[in-house]
Amino acid sequence: MEMLKEIRVGGVDLKWDLTTGKVLFEGGDVVFFWISAMKTFFDTIRDISGLEATNLVLETTGFRQGLIVGEGFKEMKHIDSSNVVDWLSSTYAPAGWGKAEIIEIDKEKGSFTLRIQDDWEYKLNALSNQKNKGIFVPSHYAGVLTGLFGRTFWYKVLQYQDEDNPYSVIEYFPSEMDIEQNIHELSRRQEAQHIRDLEQVVEEKTKMLQKLVKELSSPIIPVLEGIIVVPMIGSYDEERAEDLITNTLNQLPKHQANYLLLDLTGLNKEISQHTAALIDKLGSAARLLGTEVILVGISAELALIISQTLIDLKKYECLQTLQHGIYYALGKSGRRIV
Decide if pLDDT at 317 tops 70: yes
Q: Give the highest mean pLDDT range of 35-49, 178-192, 200-214.
A: 200-214
Beta-bridged to residue 168, according to DSSP, are 116
Q: Which of 16-25, 266-275, 282-291 has the lowest mean pLDDT?
A: 16-25
Number of domains in the chain: 2
Instruction: Confirm whether 208 is domain-assigned.
Output: no
C-alpha–C-alpha distance, residues 169 and 314, integer Å: 88
Element (H, E) at 63: helix 51-77
Same domain? For 230 and 93 the reply is no
Position 1 scores a pLDDT of: 47
Amino acid at 281: K
| Domain edge (last residue) among 151, 177, 203 | 177
Same domain? For 228 and 168 the reply is no
Same domain? For 250 and 323 the reply is yes
Give me the CATH number covering residue 108: 3.30.1380.20
Residues 6+ apart with CB under 8 A from 298: 264, 306, 318, 319, 320
Higher pLDDT, 54 or 147: 147
Mean of pLDDT over the chain? 80
Q: Which of 21-25, 98-102, 279-283 has the lowest mean pLDDT?
A: 21-25
Instruction: Confirm whether 192 is domain-assigned.
Output: no
Instruction: Confirm whether 111 is domain-assigned.
Output: yes
Question: Cα–chain-centroid distance for residue 245?
Answer: 39
pTM value? Answer: 0.51
Same domain? For 127 and 14 the reply is yes
Q: Which of 63-72, 164-173, 183-192, 237-246 has the lowest mean pLDDT?
A: 183-192
Higher pLDDT, 82 or 112: 112
Instruction: Confirm whether 238 is domain-assigned.
Output: yes
Name the DSSP letter for residue 79. Answer: -
Burial class (CB in 10 A: 0-12, 13-18, 19+), 189: exposed
| Domain edge (last residue) among 123, 151, 177 | 177
Tens digits of per-residue pLDDT, 214-253?
Answer: 666 668 889 888 999 999 887 788 888 888 898 899 989 9
Instruction: Confirm whether 203 is domain-assigned.
Output: no
Higher pLDDT, 35 or 71: 71
Residues comprising the chain, all counted: 338
Percentage of the residues of the chain whose pLDDT score is greater than 70: 79
Give 138's pLDDT tier (boundaries 50, 70, 90). very high
Same domain? For 44 and 149 the reply is yes
Nearest to 328 by CA among 283, 295, 282, 280: 295
Nearest to 64 by CA among 140, 137, 116: 140
Please say whether the dihedral angle defined by the alpha carbons of residues 147, 150, 154 and 157, taken in this order, is positive or negative.
negative
Is residue 261 a contact partner of residue 323, using CB atoms and an 8 Å limit? no
Decide if pLDDT at 212 tops 80: no
Same domain? For 8 and 152 the reply is yes
Residues 6+ apart with CB under 8 A from 191: none
Q: Can you give the residue range of the structural domain that contains 23?
A: 4-177
Same domain? For 160 and 237 the reply is no
Position 249 scores a pLDDT of: 92
Same domain? For 68 and 140 the reply is yes
Same domain? For 133 and 235 the reply is no
Is residue 239 a contact partner of residue 211, using CB atoms and an 8 Å limit? no
Mean pLDDT confidence for 40-55: 76
Please say whether the dihedral angle defined by the alpha carbons of residues 50, 55, 56 and 60, taken in this order, is positive or negative.
positive
Question: Cα–chain-centroid distance for residue 72?
Answer: 42
Give me the CATH number covering residue 308: 3.30.750.24
Terminal Cα distance for the chain, rounded: 116
C-alpha–C-alpha distance, residues 139 and 304, integer Å: 81
Give 182's pLDDT tier (boundaries 50, 70, 90). low
Instruction: Confirm whether 307 is domain-assigned.
Output: yes
Mean pLDDT confidence for 244-267: 90
Position 262 scores a pLDDT of: 92
Tens digits of per-residue pLDDT, 55-85?
Answer: 888 888 888 899 898 888 887 767 777 778 7
Instruction: Confirm whether 276 is domain-assigned.
Output: yes
The torsion region of residue 252 among left (phi > 0), alpha (psi -120 to 50) and beta comes to alpha
| Domain edge (last residue) among 145, 177, 209 | 177
Decide if pLDDT at 110 tops 70: yes
Position 2 scores a pLDDT of: 53
Is residue 22 a contact partner of residue 118, using CB atoms and an 8 Å limit? yes
Element (H, E) at 180: helix 179-217
Q: Give the highest mean pLDDT range of 31-35, 118-122, 233-237.
A: 118-122
Higher pLDDT, 166 or 32: 166
Instruction: Confirm whether 190 is domain-assigned.
Output: no
Q: Give the highest mean pLDDT range of 75-89, 167-181, 233-247, 278-292.
A: 278-292
Decide if pLDDT at 213 tops 70: no
Same domain? For 158 and 72 the reply is yes
Higher pLDDT, 104 or 233: 104
Same domain? For 151 and 243 the reply is no
Percentage of the residues of the chain whose pLDDT score is greater than 90: 22
Tens digits of per-residue pLDDT, 148-157?
Answer: 888 889 999 9
Same domain? For 230 and 105 the reply is no
